[in-house]
Homo-oligomer: A and B are copies of this chain.
């Protein structure tokens, strides 16, 4: 007889870089997204849930002569024909949807979207290949009022989810102003301009002095490696530095500095006028620079966007796992991008929007204690007599019908200790016990597990005696007593 090769057991693991979310983690994220959606909805934005899978052609990330799509997305070929891929963000699908439905959708089209996106990148600690995004965009409006609205909505959103005013700042910059600066420098197109753009992108990390060095001869970086500079003279580099450091004590001052930086550039002046319009519109609605400010040092995304750029930063400090204090940093960003739909239709369609980093914002709320935290688990009705399961089921039904989360123990009831361990693992506030004796006497035992745990931890013998954590009540009082105990602990 041929020997049958035994199949090895599959590993019980998700693919590298993927993870699962349990119970409270799912609930907390849902709670936050629901609150965000309510704000977006109030602002007139409509939900859109696009397909998770797109054609690679529609995503537009790949060269036509590449046999297999580049890294960055998860893609596969269908029947030796089309390449399909998981969406890597929510903006590319929006462009496809808008191009597809442009005759049916209202113009401007305000839409929000929330859901997972996938990146085929090297996973690392805290870096996952599937994560949530939460976007709001206005397609089809060139008005700065659309940008101002997005910024105001972002401020409202942050406050609604639990970031108090003063703990965040939304900073606004404009790509056109930078273009004006580059124009003044005579760097309108070509490799030198791209080098300058790339250098500006490092401003967050290396600061003013670092950017000065990188625009000039070069810089010794922290690792000891020497990074070649762009090779501009000190004078040549000056407009870029002036731009990046033009933030003044108030908006008028900042705008004056920017005007000096862009000189006669038409594009530059246009960008400054846009920033001024946004600031005026926001001021009229009461969004002052304590919440939303013009800040030319915001460089993230300046290379990608075509007009205003926004970034929301949390300004409070958190303590990291090593006990060091650090600023929380960016939780959302966005800007105006006017070319996205053009790939499909040939017509440029103005668009502007933001994306919230869901996991980062959630982490911030947790760090500030703004999430509900570990909530009470269900009441557990224990099984003392397996033939009377119907009695126990009737108890949980009674509790549930009163809106109380409750369950009967469904494991092997033989070992009562296991039932209490289970209740503990479930974070149950209350265990209900009805043995044969109780049944006969028409009573139930109700164990206050929260109080029981506290007593077990801290109480002196006297307290332990004076603080009973188990009550015998008539069966008819089950609901009332359980309710009383839960109310006590939910309050605390």
In the docked arrangement, what's the CA distance between A403 and B47, Å? 18
- Give the chain B neighbours of A408 by CB distance below 8 A: 145, 149
Instruction: Please tell me if the beta carbons of B44 and A281 are within 8 angstroms of each other in the complex.
Output: no
A359 to chain B, nearest CB (A): 13
- Give the chain B neighbours of A344 by CB distance below 8 A: 9-12
Instruction: Please tell me if the beta carbons of A20 and B51 are within 8 angstroms of each other in the complex.
Output: yes
Please choose the segment from A95-103, A168-176, A314-322 that sits at the chain B interface, where 4 or more of its residues have CB less than 8 A away: A95-103
Instruction: Please tell me if the beta carbons of A406 and B11 are within 8 angstroms of each other in the complex.
Output: no
- Give the chain B neighbours of A75 by CB distance below 8 A: 76
In the docked arrangement, what's the CA distance between A106 and B406, Å? 15
Q: Which one of B12, B74, B86, B390 lies within 8 Å of A285 (CB-CB)?
A: B390
- Give the chain B neighbours of A397 by CB distance below 8 A: 152, 285-286
- Give the chain B neighbours of A7 by CB distance below 8 A: 64
Query: Hey, what's the 0/1 contact readout for A92-115 against B, CB within 8 Å counting as 1?
Result: 010011011000001110100000
Instruction: Please tell me if the beta carbons of A22 and B10 are within 8 angstroms of each other in the complex.
Output: no
- Whether, in the assembled complex, A13 has its beta carbon less than 8 Å from a beta carbon of chain B, the answer is yes
- Whether, in the assembled complex, A141 has its beta carbon less than 8 Å from a beta carbon of chain B, the answer is yes
Interface residues of A in 52-93 (CB under 8 A from B): 52-55, 57-58, 60, 64, 74-76, 78, 82, 84, 86, 93
In the docked arrangement, what's the CA distance between A51 and B404, Å? 30
**What number of A residues sit within 8 Å (CB to CB) of B?**
95
Instruction: Please tell me if the beta carbons of B42 and A400 are within 8 angstroms of each other in the complex.
Output: yes
- Give the chain B neighbours of A411 by CB distance below 8 A: 107-108, 140-141
Q: Which one of B15, B58, B64, B118 lies within 8 Å of A13 (CB-CB)?
A: B58
Instruction: Please tell me if the beta carbons of B10 and A55 are within 8 angstroms of each other in the complex.
Output: yes
In the docked arrangement, what's the CA distance between A407 and B42, Å? 8
- Whether, in the assembled complex, A276 has its beta carbon less than 8 Å from a beta carbon of chain B, the answer is no
- Give the chain B neighbours of A149 by CB distance below 8 A: 393, 408, 410
A356 to chain B, nearest CB (A): 18
Q: Which one of B26, B84, B93 lies within 8 Å of A49 (CB-CB)?
A: B26
Please name 28 pairs of A and B residues whose Cβ atoms are closer than 8 Å in the assembled complex, sorted by A: A10-B60, A11-B55, A12-B97, A12-B344, A12-B345, A14-B54, A14-B55, A15-B82, A18-B51, A20-B93, A23-B48, A42-B400, A43-B400, A43-B405, A43-B407, A44-B426, A52-B116, A52-B130, A53-B118, A106-B422, A106-B425, A110-B407, A145-B393, A145-B408, A145-B410, A148-B393, A149-B393, A281-B390
Which 5 pairs across A and B sit closest by C-beta, in order of nearness?
Answer: A44-B407, A284-B390, A12-B99, A76-B76, A18-B51
